[in-house]
């Protein structure tokens, strides 16, 4: 067994090489780029009722279909684009999810106008620093938390859809708002030791 194979990881990622790479390279890494945040917000909404592996397999197709997740481009999508997306077998062809992605892009831009960036808005809920959880097993990982409840309520108030608390918590995990790698996972310590990024949430307060 190689040194890479011998590393202890969160058990959910052991089913495929794709999951393994996503776990090791992306999951839980703090994201402060608005386009990446928009990407994860849309993908997590698309995943509702499906497996994350299904969405990962379609991720590149989503990037092509949704203007490389430029929220300004997606916000301009109209009836013709909806028809195009509903005919695209490379993505999840669910009208409600497609329409919500477009509506969420418009709401996303409104948040940026108010806060300067979606990054500043999102990370403001946790004071600009990732929450460091202590989970020893998968049964201890919640599907929602008071913080995800608060974010979900506020997003809905702002017109976002497919942002229930469970979806929001998965989003928080994905973009590093919470470090939910298990205590025995090699990535938990690596992410905890990362230098704090200069997020726009911090910059706006100066």
* Catalytic residue numbers, as ranges: 22, 44, 52
- CA 179 to chain CA centroid, Å, is 13
For residue 76, what is the DSSP state? T
Region of 165 on the Ramachandran plot (φ > 0 left; ψ -120 to 50 alpha; else beta): alpha
DSSP 193: T
Residue bearing tokens 């990370």:
123
Contact 143, 169 (CB under 8 A): yes
Which phi-psi region, left, alpha or beta, contains residue 134 (left: φ > 0; alpha: ψ -120 to 50)? Answer: beta
3-state SS, residue 132: strand
Write the burial class of residue 109 (CB in 10 Å: 0-12 exposed, 13-18 middle, 19+ buried).
middle
Cβ 37 vs Cβ 122: under 8 Å:
yes
Please, are residues 139 and 84 in contact by the beta-carbon 8 Å criterion? no
d(CA 149, CA 73): 29
């Amino acid at each position: 067994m190689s040194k890479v194979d011998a590393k202890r990881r969160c058990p959910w990622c052991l089913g495929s090489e794709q999951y393994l790479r996503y776990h090791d390279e992306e999951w839980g890494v703090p994201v402060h780029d608005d386009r990446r945040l928009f990407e994860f917000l849309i993908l997590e909404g698309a995943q509702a009722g499906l497996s994350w592996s299904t969405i990962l397999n379609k991720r590149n197709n989503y990037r092509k279909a949704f203007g490389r997740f430029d929220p300004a481009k997606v916000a301009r999508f109209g009836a013709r684009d909806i028809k195009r997306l509903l005919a695209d077998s490379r993505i999840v062809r669910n009208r409600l999810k497609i329409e919500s992605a477009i509506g969420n892009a418009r709401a996303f831009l409104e948040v940026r106008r108010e806060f300067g960036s979606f990054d500043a808005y999102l990370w403001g809920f946790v004071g600009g620093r990732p929450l460091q959880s202590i989970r020893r097993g998968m049964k201890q990982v919640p599907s929602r938390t008071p913080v995800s409840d608060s974010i979900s309520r506020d997003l809905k108030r702002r017109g976002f859809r497919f942002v229930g608390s469970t979806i929001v918590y998965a989003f928080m995990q994905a973009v590093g708002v919470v470090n939910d790698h298990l205590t025995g996972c090699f990535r938990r310590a690596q992410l905890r030791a990362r230098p704090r990024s200069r997020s726009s949430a911090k910059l706006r307060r100066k």
